[in-house]
Amino acid sequence: MATMTQTLPVAQTWKSDVWSWITTVDHKRIAKLYLFAAVAFFAIAGTESMIMRTQLATPDGTLIDGSLYNQLFTMHGVSMIFIAIMPLNAGFFNLLVPLHIGARDVAFPRLNALSFWMFLFGAIFLNLSFFTGAPDGGWFAYPPLTGKEFSPGTGMEHWILGLAVLGTSSIISSLNFAVTIFNLRAPGMKMTRMPVFTWMTLVTSFLILFAFPPFTVASVLLLTDRIVGTGFFNPVAGGDPVLWQHLFWFMGHPEVYVLILPPMGIVSEVLPTFARKPLFGYTAVVFSGISIGFMGFAVWAHHMFAVGLGPIANGVFTAITMLIAIPTGVKVLNWSATLFRASIKITTPMLFAVSFVALFTIGGLSGMMHAASPVDMQHTDTYFIVAHLHYVLFGGSIFGILAGIYYWWPKLTGRLLNERLGKIHWFLAFLGFNITFGPMHILGNDGMPRRVYTYISGQGWDTWNLVATGGAYLMALSFLLFAFIVLKGLRGEKSAGDDPWDGATLEWATTSPPAVHNFDSMPVVGSNRPVWDGKYGGSPAPMDPAAAESDIHMPKASYWPIFVALGLAFAAAGVIYSYPMSAVGVVMIFYGTFAWTQESTVGPPARPSGSGAGH
């Protein structure tokens, strides 16, 4: 193996290292960028929630005033949804989809880099609003509260333009993954053999592609209301605030499936691995995911039951909302059946995945309660809703994502995370989560409204608020421990090996971390668990070391994606600060796009890593 040393980079300075990250088009490095940035924004949004919980710990809290509280709950919601959970999911799309389908990269590697940089700049732009007054009209930004009259600052402009940049990034990324999944599958990788996670990525991509354009239109119209003086959503000018609510929730409801379907995919990969048997009812799980995607477009008005749409609209949306519980229930039952009579291995990812099923089911059941519009009249704008949405988006999405981080960390870095500390993290997070959000059910039933910055004592809310805040601190502690575990993991716990969990899907058939070209030879797939087939019989093993290709060219690094993304950020920021800045941004977008089309995309040959990968 003397030749191996020659492949090491010759003069790797920190400058060339940073430059190689800025210009990277490799889906695995972009995955790391997405995950790292999203965890940072998760920490910011989490800190916002800790300030709010501290304020609410006791009656008549004086830590912050109402105005700051409004900014915090708005930014907490927007951040967790658009710049924490969505990019965490995108990080997993990037890491896994090409590996799952046996591809060398995504369909459009430079567009993939563009999506990341747009997300990063959009997220920074959104957070910069804290210096001049952050948006404070809720993540749903209902006019006329968010019109110029009642939100005179620039906070709403940061909200509108930031989400426009983030939405563009998501649409481009969805287009990329839809084409990748349709078009870059390895021989034998039929659609019906794709891992469930990849299926959920495809469904999520279509949700974003079709749900975001109406939202883009709505935000542009709100922007013209604020800047040009139109009155689409201003009742004084004859406008219609309910139109905003329709357009917003037409994105807002599919959005919650954008947040939950990828973690459902993660759990569908983790459970079979540690239950040591195939996923029960693969086809049912995939098709229920697809039907959730379709139905997700027809339930948006259940967010608007209290608006007064009339009994027929409320009845129809109640019925469809209840209907969507069927495919969701199918998934939960299939996950449970996967665990039934299995020889389960208790690992950290498994603990998070099983908690996902339990907590998501609790959140789903409380969702069924306010799916009925008369019940929702009582629940709406109370802490019961806060409890519900955190059970599905934290107990659901975040627990699923944590399962994914522990499960795929070895593939991402080649090292394992500490299992013992990981289990302590799970225990603290699980306990802290339930102590925080469990009591909110009771608070909501006792009539405590959402989005209040303080409350007076003697209403029966004092105890449970204190308990919830205690739980929140426990959860914060668990995430500090998580940060410690990850930092420790970066510095080198024991080497993971290619297939530490005895996995079933293609990513476990290559090295950890995978070489830049992913696979030395094209995998040939015979079932939806190709790696188990190779190990335990069935179809032939997917990888044939003898067929290793020697002439693999990977796409070349490019700095045009970050250039174009910067142009878009300037164009957006200029609307607030100065129009010439927007003009510069638009010129940058066009110049960068032309240069993009003219550069050569084929890089130098990526050498197969030799016999080391063959085993």
Partner 1 sequence: MAAHGGHPATSLGLDMRKLGMWTFIGSESIFFGTLIANFFRWRGSSEGGLGPEDLDINLTGAGAFVLLMSSLTMVLALAAMRSGRMKQYRLWIASTAALGIVFIGMQAFEFTSFGLEGLGMSSSLFGGAFFALTGFHGLHVVVGVIWLISLLIFGVGRDIKPGEQVAGDHHSFISAEICGLFWHFVDLAWVFIFTLIYLLPSI
Residue appearing with tokens 């970066």:
490
Exactly one of 121, 139, 232, 360 binds partner 1 (CB under 8 A); that residue is 232
By the 8 A CB rule, do 563 and 612 touch? no
DSSP state, 415? B
240 contacts partner 1 (rule: CB under 8 A): yes
By the 8 A CB rule, do 297 and 210 touch? yes
Minimum distance from residue 168 beta carbon to partner 1 (Å): 11
Which of residues 235 and 374 has its CB atom nearest to partner 1 in the complex?
235
Alpha-carbon 507 to chain mean position = 20
**Which range touches partner 1 (CB under 8 A), out of 210-218, 272-280, 475-483, 567-575?**
210-218
Counting Cβ atoms within 10 Å, is residue 340 exposed (0-12), middle (13-18) or buried (19+)? exposed
Please give the C-alpha separations between residue 467 and each of 222, 470, 506, in angstroms, as whole numbers.
40, 5, 45
DSSP state, 104? S
Size of the site for partner 1 (CB under 8 A): 51
Please tell me the distance from the alpha carbon of residue 79 to that of residue 83, in angstroms, as a whole number. Answer: 5
Which of residues 224 and 463 has its CB atom nearest to partner 1 in the complex?
224
Minimum distance from residue 27 beta carbon to partner 1 (Å): 10
238 contacts partner 1 (rule: CB under 8 A): yes
583 contacts partner 1 (rule: CB under 8 A): no
290 contacts partner 1 (rule: CB under 8 A): no
Exactly one of 217, 306, 319, 480 binds partner 1 (CB under 8 A); that residue is 217
Over the window 525 to 564, marking each residue x when it contacts partner 1 by CB under 8 A and - when it does not, the resulting string is: --------------------------x-x-x---------
Tokens of 372: 């009925």
Residues contacting 589, CB < 8 A, separation 6+: 564, 567, 568, 571
565 contacts partner 1 (rule: CB under 8 A): no
Over the window 100 to 139, marking each residue x when it contacts partner 1 by CB under 8 A and - when it does not, the resulting string is: ---xxxxxxxx-----------------------------
Select from 608, 522, 498, 474 the least CA-distant residue to 188.
522
235 contacts partner 1 (rule: CB under 8 A): no
By the 8 A CB rule, do 160 and 218 touch? no
236 contacts partner 1 (rule: CB under 8 A): no
Report helix angle 282-295 to 325-339, nearest 10.
160
Minimum distance from residue 184 beta carbon to partner 1 (Å): 7
Over the window 243 to 262, marking each residue x when it contacts partner 1 by CB under 8 A and - when it does not, the resulting string is: x---x---------------
Measure CA of the first residue to CA of the last residue in the chain; give whole Å: 14
Residues contacting 100, CB < 8 A, separation 6+: 194, 195, 197, 198, 505, 506, 507
445 contacts partner 1 (rule: CB under 8 A): no
Window 174 to 193, contacts with partner 1 (CB under 8 A): 175-176, 178-179, 182-185, 187, 189
**Which range touches partner 1 (CB under 8 A), out of 228-236, 275-283, 287-295, 405-413?**
228-236
237 contacts partner 1 (rule: CB under 8 A): yes
Please tell me the distance from the alpha carbon of residue 363 to that of residue 357, in angstroms, as a whole number. Answer: 10
Q: Which residues of 411-427 are buried (b: 16+ CB within 10 A; e: fewer)?
A: bbbbbbbbeebbeebbe
Sequence-ordered strand ranges (E) for 535-613: 552-555, 602-606
Minimum distance from residue 598 beta carbon to partner 1 (Å): 6
DSSP state, 495? B
Tokens of 402: 């944590």
Please tell me the distance from the alpha carbon of residue 169 to that of residue 392, in angstroms, as a whole number. Answer: 25
**Which range touches partner 1 (CB under 8 A), out of 229-237, 269-277, 281-289, 314-322?**
229-237
213 contacts partner 1 (rule: CB under 8 A): yes
Which of residues 178 and 372 has its CB atom nearest to partner 1 in the complex?
178
Q: Which sign, positive or negative, has the C-alpha torsion 323, 327, 330, 335?
A: negative
Exactly one of 423, 601, 607, 614 binds partner 1 (CB under 8 A); that residue is 601
Residue appearing with tokens 């210096």:
131
Which of residues 140 and 210 has its CB atom nearest to partner 1 in the complex?
210
Please tell me the distance from the alpha carbon of residue 389 to that of residue 501, in angstroms, as a whole number. Answer: 32
Over the window 132 to 171, marking each residue x when it contacts partner 1 by CB under 8 A and - when it does not, the resulting string is: ---------------------------------------x
**Which range touches partner 1 (CB under 8 A), out of 54-62, 147-155, 207-215, 560-568?**
207-215
Minimum distance from residue 9 beta carbon to partner 1 (Å): 23
Minimum distance from residue 93 beta carbon to partner 1 (Å): 15
522 contacts partner 1 (rule: CB under 8 A): yes
Which of residues 48 and 105 has its CB atom nearest to partner 1 in the complex?
105
Please give the positions annotated as active site. Answer: 76, 105, 139, 169-170, 253, 255, 257, 268, 302-303, 328, 331, 450
Exactly one of 59, 231, 252, 281 binds partner 1 (CB under 8 A); that residue is 231
Minimum distance from residue 585 beta carbon to partner 1 (Å): 16
484 contacts partner 1 (rule: CB under 8 A): no
- Listed in sequence order, the DSSP H helices in 237-324 are 241-275, 282-295, 311-323
Exactly one of 58, 230, 291, 539 binds partner 1 (CB under 8 A); that residue is 230
Which of residues 105 and 376 has its CB atom nearest to partner 1 in the complex?
105
Select from 478, 442, 477 the least CA-distant residue to 461.
442
By the 8 A CB rule, do 123 and 166 touch? yes
Please tell me the distance from the alpha carbon of residue 406 to that of residue 402, in angstroms, as a whole number. Answer: 6
Select from 44, 34, 93, 107 the least CA-distant residue to 72.
44
Q: By the criterion CB under 8 A, which residues form the site for partner 1?
A: 103-110, 171, 175-176, 178-179, 182-185, 187, 189, 209-210, 212-214, 216-218, 220-221, 224, 228-232, 237-240, 243, 247, 522, 551, 553, 555, 590, 594, 597-598, 601-602
